[in-house]
Amino acid sequence: MLKVGQTAPMFVLPDSDMDPIDIAEFKGKNNVILFFYPRDDTPGCTLEATDFSDHEDEFLRHDCVVIGISRDDCLKHAEFRDKHGISVRLLSDVEGEACQQYGVWQAKEVDGVKKYGIVRSTFVIDKQGVLRIALYGVIAKGHALDVLRVVKELNS
């Protein structure tokens, strides 16, 4: 798992329109909020993505770009985005490379069976590419506002 103060791992992943997004491009320009979520179109993931979208303008006022990442493919992301009016960019990590780099691909025990999946997690990367916040195992409800509060504190 990553720790605050580390240099954030960089990667290039396609968004829901299949355009490659290199998060290194934001260095020097924007803070980046990465939220990793388990799956498109599930109740908790929908709540989290729509909450971040609802507050996107406020994040932008604080020089923050918000990006959601799951292992769903680009097509599924596009359907999810369009169905729920999600405005934040959604990246597809089908191979799990960013999930591994950020330590969010973890073993979970469900009904006595060990399975791997994404642990809902959020990272705030500053304009210099340094992790300012690393939160693992977050709760979707109210999370976007919690992150916004922390971003405001970091910027003051």
Nearest to 144 by CA among 2, 77, 49, 65: 49
Reading the block at residue 10, the tokens are 């960089």
Beta strands in 57-130 (DSSP E): 64-70, 89-92, 105-110, 113-118, 121-125
Catalytic residue among 45, 64, 74, 99: 45
| Residue 45 appears among annotated catalytic residues | yes
Residues classed as catalytic: 45
